[in-house]
Structure 1
């Protein structure tokens, strides 16, 4: 990508050595000299322009076209300069320039490019077998430090138990956040296996449908938060492999607000809030009946069952309805739910997320405000966040948004799942990134290849 992000989600140069924004509608990037594609060709601004022009061309039906809708034109006045012109200010534009969003490919890439991809990264493509494996080898011409590992084989192993067995018998060297928490302590008892972990950015949350007569009351949502023992869920169901979330942005994020309303587990206070909101205990001690929709994944069902037990103490009868993912996503997008347990992967790492998930202009299919949350102040603030180019001013706007969301609770942010890897001890300590990608492979110094 032209840029990359650190663990605080601040931008730094990748293929671009420097960049500037002379005005809010213009981004100028200066590409590093001496970078070569895996086939030996020099990477220039013409390749950058061609990559983005291909995505912007409607005829190519790129799923990333919408992300570049504000780009009106791209210039490459010389081999190392690329200029993007936008139709309106868009402070999150740079998110579209990181490797996980858009990588740069050669200008004259052929029709078979998807089967024989060429990039400029630390590893070059060797071969792939669909649904089985992808093999890459180190790129000796990489513009940064050459990886120590000669060859990496990514194997597709759908079953978690089989993945654990492969590690145990030595036919796999590492996995990334793909094992159930209870199996990890068993594996690391083996002398040649170790575990590396760090706080991650993927957010698990409860989403509320604010069109629902009961859940439209903010007090009910706050009572549910107070009736939820998230620390116990992390300790017993996640084996401690998560960190409590106060909001949707990861705590290390440059725009994260630390001073937010908290909802520690307090079932007695939850009962008082429900009583004051007009939901007394009735026959059988039940105040309220609600339904939670989640995936059929074992961990999601266990969390749902634990919530049933916790909320029953406050007089809330919770029906659990596990669904196949496609059905779950369809129901939630259509507003056919009361409460849903889901996870955000990647999207919640940029301030643009506030508009996408909480603006009243972004109900599906135009966004992810699936609970139909409406707040005029949030709409105004997210409009400002979209165009504010000054990071300190943008951070202040984000802080106000986070404080409002913490009070209103359209989501109950549960936790950020840790990035966890079980691996061969001989690989040393892994410097895992918070987003859970494989960039750390370039820095590994194993005792053996």
Structure 2
């Protein structure tokens, strides 16, 4: 984990890079024009942390909400049967231990003495009720599909829960981890999303639509009790305004929601600090393999060699990312490091395009275009800048790239219908389970049944993924996914770009920050505010 800061208050100079590729965002220019003074007034309540986020959580019921902000807050208010470690392995949360006597049965033994925020003790009946409400359709939730293999939930006693499956499913434990599903009380009311009650380190205090969500410390939490008294999530949609609030001292934290240009400017302020940690959010360019040129593997590989990803990370992202080798991050237990890589090599890209049947037109000189493609992006600034750089880099090897920025709803509609040649998006969280290979690359997962939007087909990959999904032995499963990753790296249905770092800009009064690779908010239960009396109770 890297921390960046500086003494004194200085203003950043918006100058040109020493590289031939220079980027200055509109957001940064606006920010520099609006910079406030160096004064940093402290919040009125020293025990409250003000955390700026860009959107309001859509639903605080952990059985229903699937947007990123909802799931991050679920993880603070609720506990799961299991949680995830840094290598994406399931480990106990509400469950002290578990066993699987056969591939269709999982038996969980609950911690005793765990209490909901209303004081009632948690029992196996609450666990059963949570999953029964999902399975029965009593609540409308997109999470129901994740439990299609679950046949029944049984409660032989108050501290034991038995899950029975219809068929083996190796990712079943993953689907029980927090924040996939948090456990809610069996007597949850119809308006539970407005008044959520969990067993997590923070309890819900209040919410105002599109303004704030306020959580307070759960002094009876069964593990480490947070030292901060409250955390106030303020919804501030504009990144420039978020940066200015940090600058003024009216906010304490912003995580992963500032433009890369703004971060080094804020790091120069004496009372601010930047904590940076490798993350798991995966950025990519997807190919439509039904498009005549892009159906050729040599063309896909040529475009990878024509992409200077190191320049993108250094100059566009200001070093706030790591190059990606594939969907899984390097910290993942199933990550395979020995796969083909595509370092920037425009000469090799040209040779591959020649071999694929796309030579430069004879007698047209070295600037003639051999191929024209269209890249669809969202309208956010970072993706538009990415498109502009790819346009420049690919032109050097004779590929003309037309850029077509679209609103997200239109972009998703187009790519779901296969109406694209190339598009760029990112996976946030979905790539933390290797079962994503089935969802995005298996031939049966072409939309509307999945996210194989590029219509990639490889019978060998299909067979390996099908085997891995039911393989109970962890080491054998890892070997299967290693071969899957080697196949994907050779076939290149995606052009790997980078894995974004988690970048937290915070006041120096916020200490002992330990970010998780997933970029969630769980670190809040461990932070310590300078000069604030500490809670003595510690949990398991």
**In terms of mean alpha carbon deviation, does 96-105 or 229-238 score higher?**
96-105
Q: Deviations over 1:379-433 (max 9, x none)?
A: 1011001100111000000000000000000001111000000000111242101
**Structure 1 segment 286-435 matched on structure 2, within 5 A:** 286-435=369-518
Offset at 1:110?
A: 1.0
Alignment partner of 2:522 out of 421, 429, 439: 439
CA contact (8 A) 2:512 2:528 kept: no
* Partner SS state of residue 480, structure 2: helix
Q: Deviations over 1:319-347 (max 9, x none)?
A: 00000001111101110000111100011
**Structure 1 segment 25-424 matched on structure 2, within 5 A:** 25-282=104-361, 283=364, 285-424=368-507
TM-score, normalization by structure 1? 0.99
Q: Deviations over 1:355-401 (max 9, x none)?
A: 00100000111111000000000110110011001110000000000
Give the CA RMSD over aligned residues: 0.8
Q: Deviations over 1:49-102 (max 9, x none)?
A: 000000111242222111111111110110111001100000001122122210
Offset at 1:448?
A: 3.9
Query: In structure 2, how many angstroms separate the alpha carbons of the residues matched to 1:305 and 1:7?
Result: 35
TM-score, normalization by structure 2? 0.82
Query: In structure 2, how many angstroms separate the alpha carbons of the residues matched to 1:139 and 1:359?
Result: 44
Offset at 1:144?
A: 0.5
* Partner SS state of residue 114, structure 1: helix
Query: In structure 1, how many angstroms separate the alpha carbons of the residues matched to 2:331 and 2:87?
Result: 5
Query: In structure 2, how many angstroms separate the alpha carbons of the residues matched to 1:123 and 1:368?
Result: 35
Query: In structure 2, how many angstroms separate the alpha carbons of the residues matched to 1:194 and 1:184?
Result: 10
Runs of 4+ in 1 over 4 A off after TM superposition: none
Query: In structure 2, how many angstroms separate the alpha carbons of the residues matched to 1:314 and 1:430?
Result: 45
CA contact (8 A) 2:86 2:516 kept: yes
Query: In structure 2, how many angstroms separate the alpha carbons of the residues matched to 1:218 and 1:53?
Result: 46
Q: Deviations over 1:206-227 (max 9, x none)?
A: 1000000000000000000000
Query: In structure 2, how many angstroms separate the alpha carbons of the residues matched to 1:261 and 1:367?
Result: 26
Query: In structure 1, how many angstroms separate the alpha carbons of the residues matched to 2:408 and 2:517?
Result: 25
Q: Which runs of 5+ in 2 are unaligned?
A: 1-79, 533-540
* Partner SS state of residue 384, structure 1: helix
Query: In structure 2, how many angstroms separate the alpha carbons of the residues matched to 1:128 and 1:60?
Result: 22
Alpha carbons of structure 1 residues 59 and 38: separation in structure 2 relative to 1, 3 Å = closer
Query: In structure 2, how many angstroms separate the alpha carbons of the residues matched to 1:448 and 1:26?
Result: 50
CA contact (8 A) 1:351 1:385 kept: no
Query: In structure 2, how many angstroms separate the alpha carbons of the residues matched to 1:33 and 1:45?
Result: 10
CA contact (8 A) 2:219 2:225 kept: yes
CA contact (8 A) 2:84 2:178 kept: no
CA contact (8 A) 1:196 1:429 kept: no
Q: Which runs of 5+ in 1 are unaligned?
A: none
CA contact (8 A) 1:260 1:403 kept: yes
Query: In structure 1, how many angstroms separate the alpha carbons of the residues matched to 2:352 and 2:190?
Result: 62
CA contact (8 A) 2:134 2:143 kept: yes
Q: Deviations over 1:220-278 (max 9, x none)?
A: 00000000000000000000000001111001100000100010000011001111111
Query: In structure 1, how many angstroms separate the alpha carbons of the residues matched to 2:520 and 2:459?
Result: 37
* Partner SS state of residue 170, structure 2: coil
* Matching residue of 2:31: none
